[in-house]
Amino acid sequence: MSIKKIQDEIIDEFSMFDDWMQRYEYIIDLGKNLPLIQEEFKTDDNIIKGCQSKVWLKGEQNEDKIVFTADSDAILTKGIIAILIRVFSNQTATDILNANMAFIDEIGLKEHLSPTRANGLVSMIKNIKMYALAFDAKK
């Protein structure tokens, strides 16, 4: 499925909720279903700098796609990285690099996060794009 289609699904899912408390609960639920990073990858090299919580992200190339796994020590942050992994995992480096990130504003995520969590969100996206750049450069 394309990045745009996945983003549209997420926008539709978030539109079902009337208030932000319901959306926070949904984000937390998404985090509970996150395919976890293997313990051996929970290293300083895989920690996303700029996040208030600890967030580990690992990207591996599988043929022409990048597969991401992640974990966090905070339930809300785990849900946020789960959303990003849903969008970007199993996509090509080129598609990740060219992805429009407007869906984050459309679901209202950034504006409903604390400034430190919003910075963490930006750092998560940056790390995902850095993986894509690195894998794209290997072509």
User: Angle 75-88/115-137 helices, nearest 10 degrees?
Assistant: 30
CB count within 10 Å of CB 58 equals: 18
d(CA 42, CA 53): 13
CB atoms within 10 A of CB 108: 12
Catalytic residue selected from 3, 10, 51, 96? 51
* Burial degree of 91 (CB within 10 A; 0-12, 13-18, 19+): buried
User: Annotated catalytic, 51?
Assistant: yes
Active site members: 51
